[in-house]
Amino acid sequence: MKNSEALHINKDSSPLAVLTLFFIEIFQLLVEQSILYYQQHLDRQAGPSRRLPDITLPDIMTFTALALQMGHNMKDTLHDYWSRLKQQHTPFYSETMTRDRFLHMLRFLHFADNSQRPEPGEEYDRLWKMQTVFDTLNQAYPKFYNPSEHLAVDKEIVKFQGRVIFRQYIPKKRKRFGIKIYKLCCESGYTYYMRVYMGKDSCSATDDTTATHVRHLTCRVESLGHKLFMDNFFSSPRIFDDLLRRKIHSCGTVWPNRKDMPSDVGTKKLKLTKGNEQVRTRGNLTVLAWKDRRDVYMLTNMDPPPEEGKFCDVSKRAVKPQIVARYNRHMGYVDNSDRMANSYSMCQRNFKWTTKLFFHLLDLTEPQQLDSVIFVWG
């Protein structure tokens, strides 16, 4: 598909046309870098030179189509897709591309020129092998979609157990090992902006590090009046004040010991019983301490301060404050995005981290996930 064709999208356009909007530049990058990587591989080999197979844009798109289809037809190994055993035979794959051709393209799938590798000891971007792919998608996501009023910031883990310097270990998560990505998502689960955690900061959240992440994620929605939801990893009075100066209202759970929080919040001075609400205000910023099964601390500048007191229904169950109900309704946008991206993924355990991230981004942008959103083309 030509670039000019990809720009003319309407309600009758095919899923391929929508996917091409986001990935046409990346497909062209893969053609160039995969050929270059294979040539560099041949140059390192001793013995007679071999003919370089032609890799074209249609080849890369066919390869991608097979990868997407594999997510909808899960098998134990990649070789099983080309198996001729009666109980496993699926003619679609062998008729579309030979097994050896697919595995060859997968092996030499590349995203950056290795000759530009940073020298040992010098400072460099740890994501340099995938930086062009991420930059291309981060430019395309806001270009073709206007986000909803309510947005959410959260982190997700791309499961990966191989070797990469910024791999994270989070023992309480289902995906304990992986690559952490911070994301800004709207209510449809559409990813509007993303940022990979490079592991340079301390694992413990501080105001400085979290403010940097939030500032980068929200740089494209400033001064538009959006309402942002976040969890206690990001929330702090300082971050909320900074966002409000950029006309972004915020709401989220918060750690009671964050800097600039009221001194009596999170201490034994607040003797809360089930259903109790304690409120502290500072200007347009409200801190709510609420007791249900445990203490819940909320920070908001988009809701009026609620009344203090004890609120239980006739069954003596704690009545949920409006601030908590609103937070629960809107905070799951990133989880929804992660769920859709992992519903039909072909990622295998032994992929390199660059290949793993590429297929995750492909699953994230797959047209089936974009059916419910309204695109805006200038």
Q: Which pLDDT band holds residue 39 (cuts at 50, 70, 90)?
A: confident
Are 21 and 363 within 8 A, CB to CB? Answer: no
User: pLDDT tens digits for 325-376?
Assistant: 999 999 999 988 888 888 777 777 668 899 999 999 998 887 545 554 444 4
Q: Which of 7-11, 122-126, 139-143, 218-222 has the lowest mean pLDDT?
A: 7-11
- Does residue 88 carry a pLDDT above 60? yes
Q: Which pLDDT does position 98 carry in this prediction?
A: 93
Please give the structure tokens belonging to residue 5: 């064709």
Q: Which pLDDT does position 82 carry in this prediction?
A: 95
H-run or E-run covering 253: strand 249-253
CA dist 138 and 149 (Å) reads 19
CA dist 278 and 167 (Å) reads 40
CA dist 296 and 253 (Å) reads 7
What are phi and psi for residue 311, nearest 5 degrees? -125, 110
Residues 283-310 have a mean pLDDT of 89
Q: Which pLDDT band holds residue 176 (cuts at 50, 70, 90)?
A: confident
- Does residue 122 carry a pLDDT above 80? no
User: pLDDT tens digits for 230-280?
Assistant: 999 999 999 999 999 999 999 999 998 898 888 887 665 667 888 888 889
User: pLDDT tens digits for 144-171?
Assistant: 888 889 999 999 988 888 888 888 888 8
CA dist 61 and 63 (Å) reads 5
In single-letter form, the type of residue at position 316 comes to K
Average pLDDT value over all residues in the chain:
84
Q: Which pLDDT band holds residue 319 (cuts at 50, 70, 90)?
A: confident
Q: Please state, in angstroms and as integers, the Cα–Cα distance from residue 54 to each residue in 2, 33, 38, 51, following that order.
A: 20, 13, 11, 9
Q: Which pLDDT does position 131 carry in this prediction?
A: 92
Q: Which pLDDT does position 377 carry in this prediction?
A: 43
Count the Cβ atoms, other than its own, within 10 Å of residue 191: 26
Q: Which pLDDT does position 368 carry in this prediction?
A: 46
Q: Which pLDDT does position 50 carry in this prediction?
A: 60
Q: Which pLDDT band holds residue 217 (cuts at 50, 70, 90)?
A: very high
CA dist 100 and 373 (Å) reads 38
- Does residue 322 carry a pLDDT above 50? yes
pTM of the model: 0.86
Q: Please state, in angstroms and as integers, the Cα–Cα distance from residue 23 to each residue in 44, 84, 139, 194, following that order.
A: 31, 33, 11, 16
Q: Which pLDDT band holds residue 378 (cuts at 50, 70, 90)?
A: very low
Q: Which pLDDT band holds residue 121 (cuts at 50, 70, 90)?
A: low
User: pLDDT tens digits for 178-202?
Assistant: 899 999 999 888 999 999 998 764 4
Q: Which pLDDT does position 207 carry in this prediction?
A: 55
